[in-house]
Structure 1
Amino acid sequence: MKTVVTAQQMRDAERAVWDADPDVDLMTRAAAGVARVADEMAPEGPVLVVVGPGNNGGDGLFAAATLAESREVLLWLAAGRAHDEGLAAARSAGCREVGDPASARARLADASLVIDAFTGLGARPGLPPDVATFAAACEAWQVPVLAVDQPSGLGTDGGPVGHSFNATVTATFAARKPCHVVEPAASRCGDVVVQDIGVPVPATDLRILEESDLANWWPTPDAASDKYSRGVVLLDTGSERYAGAALLGISGALHAGAGMVRYAGGAPSGLVLGRFPSVVLGEGRAQAAVVGSGWGEPDEARMARAVELGLPLVVDADALGVLPDGGMEGWLLTPHAGELARLLGVGRDEVEADPLGAAREAARRHGATVLLKGAAQYVAEPSGRVTVAVRGPNWTAQAGSGDVLAGICGTLLAAGLPAWKAAAMGASVQALAAQRHPGPYPPDRLTEFLPTVVANLDA
């Protein structure tokens, strides 16, 4: 997994490096990385650098000096002042300045790349009007933008998104920051490239799951395995009206590798067995259960029966409306933003503005792990630790994807994984299936790709 650090954590890590060796020049290391990425993005043609007044601008200026050795580089000193040493280096290398915002916008017509070095680490959301207008013009002209550390206009630690650059690529240093992985800011960062500048970063309570983690952790059978050791998952999902939710959850569970699936929900048994003849009807020995998908409405009696099972539960959809007052340790709640808003008694817009904070609060309040579903998916534990799942294409934003995901997570819980791993791995493997088979596949078709994805995790 990769660590994500806040602005203050990054400052502390940099300070530790300087304390150990005061002569370390982190700015030139960062600038060299920016210049490399710039050359990869646009090997030729004029480069226009938007220069801010602080160290981020200094990174951009030293990168400009390197780039000017082989191409035309223009500087817009958007704040009217700049890092003194960086500006001297850029001027000495032959960089030329554009004098005003209108001139800067005019040069977009022939620019091959814009480097956004206006604000960086620790910045707050928002841009001055002239810079906001320029950022919008970059989008209108479809000029590639390389952001230094983070797109200017975003807050490093996340938060609301107003006027900001929409980066094609963001070159950040040492580790990702919250704005790179948490929506709505993350969508403005483009592809994030982490540059090693020799700053060790500490472990934090926010990290990103990688495909290699799935390969290391996915439960695989051995010669001694049987259906019970692989995990039996019980699904109380579906209804006469929403029988499809039951089928989707069962499909997710089976294709993720369940040793056995039991079904005790409200969908017609003939429909279930006609599609999945290996399913065993009724309750019985199981290691985890999935409840709520396709119930049609909150059902206190069904929830009470689920609680009495004494199993780790995946609680989805309608079951989220009838949670018990406590005793949810080891459970996994799987709300989307609207459901999480109802759990917290806030507006959906509040959840979408601060998804990390909302997921953490729900996990703390209920004493359960929370998987907040959406374009980016966050797994929050009661301790406050959050894991960001592998991100998939937006094609998965369709009815039924959550039903499949609940089944996948149920299989992983039944295999003995802790709730946070089951959630992060379940969301990630579904995302990988969609990545590797892009397009508008319905959720039940995507489940058919899960075995191949799982089998190739080590490839």
Structure 2
Amino acid sequence: MRSAFGVAEVRAAERAAMARGPEGALMRRAAAALAAECARLLGRVYGSRVTLLVGSGDNGGDALYAGARLARRGAGVTAVLLAPDRAHPGGLAALRAAGGRVVDGVDERDGRAEDAVAGARLVVDGIVGIGGRGGLRERAAHLVAAARTATVVAVDLPSGVDADTGEVRGEAVRADVTVTFGAYKPGLLVDPGRAYAGAVRLVDIGLDLPPERRALEALQYADVARLLPVPAGESDKYRRGVVGVVAGSARYPGAAVLCVAGALHGGAGAVRYAGPAADAVIARFPEALVSAGPPSKAGRVQAWAVGPGLGDDEDRLLDVLDADVPVLIDADGLRLADERRVRARRAPTLLTPHAGEAAALLGVDRARVESARLAAVRELAARYDATVLLKGSTTLVADAEGPVRVNPTGTAWLATAGSGDVLSGLAGSLLAAGLAARDAGSVAAYLHGLAARHAADGAPVAAQDVAEAVPAAWRDVRG
């Protein structure tokens, strides 16, 4: 499992590590790893032009020490100081001793700083560390913009990205590679910050970070494989779980078909469909158990998935919410669900909104949700006393306990009509198979994203293609 830690936890671990070892050892480890990654990107270090954008903190010190290492290997290294009076003295001395040049980045008169950035093959962002807040200052943003052709390497975190949240409030560095030290930071894994980080390289510098203090976690293949339901020799379709699907309407029968498609591949033993699209469902999936009556009369289920294409059919939603089994609510179900009714449920509830639906539930605009995804998913989980899967460029799963989970799979081709309906059925099936709501949402998002990669393979993909690729994703994880 990949874990991310907040700034306060990382700072505390850094202090403890510095107290245990010789002075400056932590920075030297970080600088050595940073220099090694820069050398790898350059290929040929000797004769390459490297520019360091250096701020006032330890982040700038890491860049300076790394620059000194590259200079000793024959690179032409120039440090552009954005806080000349507060640059790290040890790092500055090391760079000068190695033959590096130093330029005042605040002085705009002679253009030397701009020339150093524009002429570099590689630019190192050491402007602001993980404690930074807000966007870049105007002068720093101007110099960053001058790096039009260089490979940009961020030290620990792209400057201008909030380490704890991934929020970007103003101008920020768009890195090709981020070399982060000791632990992932949430801002490297959650959009919009994730999009600014490029490829992230984690470097172990000897920090002791207790797993129980992590702020964010991302499941990996082995974690998902352990959670996947596997039938035993004595299993039958009922012991494996039955998922009920309440989706679709006369206007949107396809939503029912897609939700059932996802459910059939989700690990439950059977799928019951209750709704007006029964004819469309049985025509496509003869193995489904269909009923046109109310959900409570359809037969026993271990979980319900309700909402995709439901329209204004509030009666079916309320019938499902009264059931004493786990319930997934999506799409129209989110619009119709009353907050107090959801909070009053005794069985687990999993909400699966996209950013627009989350914004409506929170009473804010969509842009606010998209810019502060961690805050939004945590607030929804607390407000509804439920597990929340917030769909989007980075899908997040949160509940009242434990760290937020971020899904590492997926592709931009997944932004297609009906893909959310498939996800709802898949997650509902995992609920029926016995997974806790947090695990069901996380595993469903993982498989859904992986299935989309299999189905798309670099080309446009339809929701039905994603559903049909779920078994391949399942085998991939199990293998």
Q: Does 1:399 align with 2:417?
A: yes
Which sits farther off after the overlay, 242-251 or 389-398?
389-398
Give the match's secondary structure for 2:238: helix
Q: Does 1:237 align with 2:247?
A: yes
Give the match's secondary structure for 1:68: helix
TM-score, normalised to structure 2, is 0.91
Match of 1:51 among 54, 67, 78: 54
Q: Does 1:78 align with 2:82?
A: yes
Match of 2:138 among 111, 123, 129: 129
What residue ranges of structure 2 are gaps of 5+ in the alignment? 292-297
Q: Residue type of the partner of 2:238?
A: Y
Deviation by residue 1:393-449 (Cα, 9 ceiling, x = unmatched): 211112111111101101110110100111111111111122343321111112211
Q: Is the contact between residue 330 and residue 352 of structure 2 (CA under 8 Å) also seen in structure 1?
A: yes
Q: Residue type of the partner of 2:309?
A: G
Which sits farther off after the overlay, 99-108 or 379-388?
99-108
Q: Does 1:457 align with 2:477?
A: yes
Q: Is the contact between residue 186 and residue 215 of structure 2 (CA under 8 Å) also seen in structure 1?
A: no
Q: Residue type of the partner of 1:146?
A: V
CA shift for structure 1 position 68: 1.4
Q: Is the contact between residue 332 and residue 423 of structure 1 (CA under 8 Å) also seen in structure 2?
A: yes
Q: How does 1:110-259 map to 2 (within 5 A)?
A: 110-138=119-147, 141-158=148-165, 159-203=167-211, 204-259=214-269
Q: Is the contact between residue 151 and residue 166 of structure 1 (CA under 8 Å) also seen in structure 2?
A: yes
Give the match's secondary structure for 1:161: coil
CA shift for structure 1 position 371: 0.5
CA shift for structure 1 position 129: 1.4
Q: Is the contact between residue 352 and residue 391 of structure 2 (CA under 8 Å) also seen in structure 1?
A: yes
Q: Is the contact between residue 377 and residue 396 of structure 2 (CA under 8 Å) also seen in structure 1?
A: yes
Q: Is the contact between residue 248 and residue 403 of structure 1 (CA under 8 Å) also seen in structure 2?
A: yes
Match of 2:288 among 248, 273, 279: 279
Q: Distance in 1 between matches of 2:149 and 2:229?
A: 45
CA shift for structure 1 position 183: 2.0
Q: Is the contact between residue 84 and residue 104 of structure 2 (CA under 8 Å) also seen in structure 1?
A: no
Match of 2:450 among 429, 432, 446: 432
CA shift for structure 1 position 384: 6.3
Q: Does 1:327 align with 2:344?
A: yes
Q: Distance in 1 between matches of 2:400 and 2:254?
A: 32
Deviation by residue 1:71-109 (Cα, 9 ceiling, x = unmatched): 222211122241111111111111123444632332344
CA shift for structure 1 position 160: 3.5
Give the match's secondary structure for 2:477: coil
Give the match's secondary structure for 2:146: helix
Query: How many aligned positions are there?
Result: 455
Q: How does 1:259-338 map to 2 (within 5 A)?
A: 259-267=269-277, 269-282=278-291, 283-297=298-312, 299-324=313-338, 325=340, 326-328=343-345, 329-338=347-356
Q: Distance in 2 between matches of 1:160 and 1:205?
A: 19
Q: Distance in 1 between matches of 2:103 and 2:23?
A: 33
Deviation by residue 1:152-189 (Cα, 9 ceiling, x = unmatched): 12222233431111011111111111211222222111
Percent identity over the alignment is: 43
What residue ranges of structure 1 are gaps of 5+ in the alignment? none
CA shift for structure 1 position 23: 4.3
CA shift for structure 1 position 22: 5.3
RMSD: 1.7
Does the C-alpha gap of structure 1 residues 216 and 335 become closer, same or farther in structure 2, counting only changes over 3 Å? Answer: same
Q: Is the contact between residue 30 and residue 59 of structure 1 (CA under 8 Å) also seen in structure 2?
A: yes
CA shift for structure 1 position 114: 0.8
Give the match's secondary structure for 1:244: helix
Q: Is the contact between residue 396 and residue 407 of structure 2 (CA under 8 Å) also seen in structure 1?
A: yes
TM-score, normalised to structure 1, is 0.95
Does the C-alpha gap of structure 1 residues 24 and 416 become closer, same or farther in structure 2, counting only changes over 3 Å? Answer: farther
Q: Residue type of the partner of 1:68?
A: A
